[in-house]
């Protein structure tokens, strides 16, 4: 059922599986994520720290917003901001809607962000643990789309997974990740959902991500946080 502030568009056929997998168990997603992503609080806290802007009421877009967990960190710093949360999963967006049900200036979009046509520009665009699912050409397409959507001096922040620069590094990334995952806290059905989602991962190397941003024209491109395969990438228009 469509709700005020939501728009559903056709999905890229490659993303149908993503929508299905991330809709499963949406109500437990936040709790599971904290068991699966090492130092998740640091990842989100640092990204939120990097969102400081001179704009008093920034327009903020969260791509692949899921349940709104990352947005909750950013909202603490920008309670006067105007937020748009977009996700491919209606189940996830419904949880985000409930999280911010008493907050004004929030819009919700159920859509494929590679296809959705935005009608406004933004001061800040963020994403977390989402873009790595795309094919590499789609990542580059999305980075250009984000750049075009940003206002002058606007900032893009992406907290995401990256591939190791060579097989030895990648093996160490995966060894550490599997060691840190707190599977003992999860049920067998939850483990299956999480492992199924991980099968959809398609990260690019950190160097490729940085190169794509620079080639598009982002300024001050940098990595402000990195823990093995998890990092925060920054770029300004």
Per-residue confidence (pLDDT) for residue 188, from 0 to 100:
66
Looking at the predicted structure, is the pLDDT value of residue 234 above 80?
Answer: yes
- What is the mean pLDDT of the segment spanning 127-144? 96
Per-residue confidence (pLDDT) for residue 56, from 0 to 100:
83
Per-residue confidence (pLDDT) for residue 19, from 0 to 100:
46
Per-residue confidence (pLDDT) for residue 201, from 0 to 100:
85
Looking at the predicted structure, is the pLDDT value of residue 29 above 50?
Answer: yes
The token pair at 211 is 């190169």
Looking at the predicted structure, is the pLDDT value of residue 113 above 90?
Answer: yes
- What is the mean pLDDT of the segment spanning 124-153? 96
- What is the mean pLDDT of the segment spanning 44-72? 93
User: For 180-213, what is each residue's pLDDT tens digit?
Assistant: 776 556 666 666 666 666 667 899 999 999 999 9
Looking at the predicted structure, is the pLDDT value of residue 6 above 80?
Answer: no
Average of per-residue pLDDT values in the chain: 86
- What is the mean pLDDT of the segment spanning 120-131? 96
- What is the mean pLDDT of the segment spanning 226-237? 97
Per-residue confidence (pLDDT) for residue 191, from 0 to 100:
62
Looking at the predicted structure, is the pLDDT value of residue 8 above 50?
Answer: no
Q: What is the pTM of this model?
A: 0.86
- What is the mean pLDDT of the segment spanning 1-25? 46
All domains in the chain, ordered by first residue: 13-236 (3.40.50.150)
Per-residue confidence (pLDDT) for residue 177, from 0 to 100:
87
3-state secondary structure the chain: CCCCCCCECCCCHHHHHHHHHHHCCHHHHHHHHHHHCCCHHHHHHHHHHCCCCCCCCCEEEEECCCCCHHHHHHHCCCCCCEEEEEECCHHHHHHHHHHCCCCCCEEEEECCCCCCCCCCCEEEEEEECCHHHCCHHHHHHHHHHHHHHEEEEEEEEEEEECECCCHHHHHHHHHHHHHHCCHHHCCHHHHHHHHHHHCCCCCCEHHHHHHHHHHHCCEEEEEEEEECCEEEEEEEC
Q: How confident is the model at residue 2 (pLDDT cuts 50, 70, 90)?
A: very low
Q: How confident is the model at residue 122 (pLDDT cuts 50, 70, 90)?
A: very high
């Amino acid at each position: 059922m469509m709700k005020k502030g939501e728009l559903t568009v056709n999905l890229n056929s490659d993303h149908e599986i993503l929508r299905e997998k991330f809709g499963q168990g949406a109500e437990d997603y936040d709790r599971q994520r904290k068991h699966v992503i090492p130092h998740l609080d640091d990842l989100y806290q640092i990204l939120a720290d990097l969102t400081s802007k001179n704009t008093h009421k920034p327009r903020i877009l969260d791509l692949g917003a899921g349940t709104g967990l990352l947005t909750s960190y950013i909202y603490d710093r920008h309670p006067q901001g105007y937020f748009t949360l977009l996700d491919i999963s209606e189940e996830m967006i419904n949880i985000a809607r409930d999280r911010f049900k008493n907050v004004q200036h929030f819009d919700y979009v159920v859509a494929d962000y590679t296809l959705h046509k935005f009608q406004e520009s933004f001061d800040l665009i963020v994403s977390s643990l989402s873009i790595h699912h795309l094919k590499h050409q789609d990542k580059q397409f999305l980075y250009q789309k984000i750049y075009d959507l940003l206002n002058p001096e606007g900032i893009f922040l992406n907290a995401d997974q990256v591939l190791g620069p060579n097989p030895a590094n990648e093996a160490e990334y995966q060894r550490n990740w599997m060691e840190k995952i707190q599977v003992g806290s999860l049920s067998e059905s939850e483990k299956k959902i999480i492992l199924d989602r991980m099968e959809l991962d398609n990260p690019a190397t950190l160097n490729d991500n940085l190169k794509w941003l620079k080639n598009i024209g982002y300024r001050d491109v940098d990595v402000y946080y990195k823990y093995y395969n998890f990092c925060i990438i920054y770029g300004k228009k």
